[in-house]
Amino acid sequence: MYCMDLTGKVAIVTGGAQGIGKAIVDAFLECGASVAVADREVKQENSHEHLVYFKTDVTKRNEVEETVQQVTKHFGTVDILVNNAGISRMDYAIDIKEEDWDLVMDVNAKGVYLFSQAVARILKEQGQGGKIINISSQAGKNGYRLMGGYVASKHAVLGLTKTMAIELAQDGINVNAVCPGIVETDMKHKERVLGGELRGLTAELIKQEDYSQVPLGRTAEPQDIANVVVFLASKYSDYMTGQGINVTGGMTMH
Mean pLDDT of the chain: 96
Strands (E), the chain: 10-14, 34-39, 51-55, 80-83, 130-135, 173-180, 244-247
Question: What mean pLDDT is predicted for residues 166-185?
Answer: 98
Quick one: pLDDT at residue 42?
Answer: 79
- Active site positions, annotated: 150
User: What distance, in Å, lies between the first and last C-alpha atoms of the chain?
Assistant: 27
**207-223: pLDDT as tens digits:** 999 999 999 999 999 99
- Is residue 45 pLDDT above 70, yes or no? no
pTM for the model: 0.97
pLDDT of residue 68: 98
Q: What is the mean pLDDT of residues 179-195?
A: 97
For residue range 97-140, list pLDDT tens digits in order: 999 999 999 999 999 999 999 999 999 999 999 999 999 999 99
- CA separation for the pair 65, 75 (Å, rounded): 16
